[in-house]
Structure 1
Amino acid sequence: MSDKPVVILVEDDAAIAELIEYNLRSEGFSVQKFSRGAEMLKVLPQYSDVVLFILDLMLPEMDGFEICRRIRSDETMDLTPVMMLTARSTESDKVRGLEAGADDYVTKPFGIREFLARVNAHVRRKNLVGRAVDAQVFSDNHSPSHKKSFSNTMNQEGHRLNQTIELDGLLLDDVRHRVYLNDHEVEMTNREYELLKFLMTNKGIAYSRDELLNHVWGYEYVGETRTVDVHIRQLRKKIEKDDANPELIETVRGRGYRFKEG
């Protein structure tokens, strides 16, 4: 098996699949291409070094939503980013994709340069998270019953390598990669977790949608920024007492979003 990082592509349009495969191989990736989700899932256990999944949404037999849900149910793939490709751009589809655990949603047709930039950003972020997890030592003093504030240790890319933070009954445990609300665990996708972590780490600071995309998604985003709005909406449903009247994640008119200070 190749020692190149593996990208798994599920796309039933042969022309699009060949275009993506050619460009990904040019970027140094090993591409495993499938036209059916069931076919891919059957052989998935053979691949332990997958750095990214790219899933077409409208597939026969099993759509991209279901494939994504099944990937996310595998603990070994929990931190592996998922990009969805689709010709449908309605917000309801985007919400469904994000709820299924997708990290990104790319609408066809797309520019190949932007597409590759987003691919590389997701892979860099996965590698960064993987190194941080490997470097952490799991111990009892990071449990929800043992409260401690964030450290300010910075890694080489300028990101804080924090441990736990608690604000208004909301606890983010960056060692175990878990979130608790009033001592009850809150299930989150990896991207929701990263967005919440960034906002909590930088509480009181207002960020534009473009800035959040750059910091959390890891690329200079070109195009619509509704991805951030959809993720914020999903976070509010999970952590706010009343998501229609949020108290933790505030909307800053004309600017974007911030996590409440104090």
Structure 2
Amino acid sequence: MENSKKILIVEDDADISMVEEAYLESAGFETRILSEGTEVEGVIEKEHFDLILLDLMLPGKNGYEICREIRDRVDIPILMVTARTESVDKIRGLGIGADDYISKPFDPAELVARVNANLRQYERMKQKIVPTSEESPEEIRVHDLRILVNSWKVYKGDREIKFPNREFELLKFFAMNPNIVFSKEQLFEEIWGYDYVGDSATVMVHINRIRDKIEDDSKNPKILETVWGAGYRLNK
């Protein structure tokens, strides 16, 4: 297959899953379909997938629960698919670790485009190798954090914190550009890229997730600060 990428489709509506399967396979992807939310955890432990297409409303266990459970265990894009259109559902999904969000009914061609965009972005992030030098050190220290640039690890004190690719890339960008204010639009373009299908509100959600991991009090952040009306700044 041209893409040689494997997509896990988690969808209880057989008609929808068949459409997703048909369009993705015609685009060169390999697919696996699950109809029960309770099956996901066991399957991802045994099989490798490059992306998960996750329906929100599932029998047994919903998409929110699944995303929360697997996010730190699989470092791949998770796209939530749902009939809901309210922005609060989108923010909630992104807030627990989803990378993107598409609402039913959707154009199958748009779905394939979203899948491709997320896979391309993850590949770009994995390929970014920062050479060790005085300007881009192997280790960056920020307060009680140690960010290991080339090995993609973060420690708070002696405890390692798990970061998905996109969160790590965002934290690393801030750490390598401390004390500078960046707007949401600038961060979106830098981390997600011009060709990514999404919006800059995604930045806010990812910053909140980072704060939950690195701040002593995420409601009163000292490291990753909001500069009202301007953007965000990492204080070093």
TM (norm. structure 1) is 0.71
What 5-or-longer segments of structure 1 have no aligned partner?
137-147, 153-161
Q: Percent identity?
A: 42
Q: Does the 8 Å CA contact 1:149/1:166 hold for their aligned counterparts?
A: no
Q: Secondary structure at the match of 1:61?
A: coil
Match of residue 23 from structure 1: 23
- 116, 122, 146: which is aligned to 2:118? 122
Q: Does the 8 Å CA contact 2:72/2:162 hold for their aligned counterparts?
A: no
Match of residue 146 from structure 2: 171
Q: CA RMSD in A?
A: 3.5
Output one character per residue of 1:19-50: Cα deviation in whole Å (capped at 9) or x when no partner: 433332343212222222344545445533x2
CA distance in 2, matches of 1:224, 1:132: 23
CA distance in 1, matches of 2:149, 2:22: 37
CA distance in 2, matches of 1:212, 1:18: 37
> AA paired with 1:258?
R
CA shift at 1:229, angstroms? Answer: 1.5
CA distance in 1, matches of 2:217, 2:39: 42
What 5-or-longer segments of structure 2 have no aligned partner?
none
The farther-off stretch of 215-224 and 163-172 is 215-224
Residues 51 and 151 from structure 1, CA distance in 2 versus in 1: closer, same or farther, beyond 3 angstroms?
farther
Where do residues 1-262 of structure 1 align in structure 2 (5 Å cutoff)? 4-44=4-44, 47-48=47-48, 50-72=49-71, 74=73, 78-89=74-85, 93-94=89-90, 97-98=93-94, 100-110=96-106, 115-130=111-126, 152=136, 163-218=138-193, 220-221=195-196, 224-260=199-235, 262=236
> AA paired with 1:53?
I
Kindly indicate whether structure 1 or structure 2 has the higher relative contact order, using CA contacts under 8 Å at least 6 residues apart: 2
CA shift at 1:12, angstroms? Answer: 1.9
The farther-off stretch of 234-243 and 3-12 is 234-243
Output one character per residue of 1:121-142: Cα deviation in whole Å (capped at 9) or x when no partner: 3212333455569x99xxxxxx
Output one character per residue of 1:39-92: Cα deviation in whole Å (capped at 9) or x when no partner: 4545445533x2111100110112113333443464xxx322211122335566
CA shift at 1:16, angstroms? Answer: 3.1
Corresponding pairs, count: 236
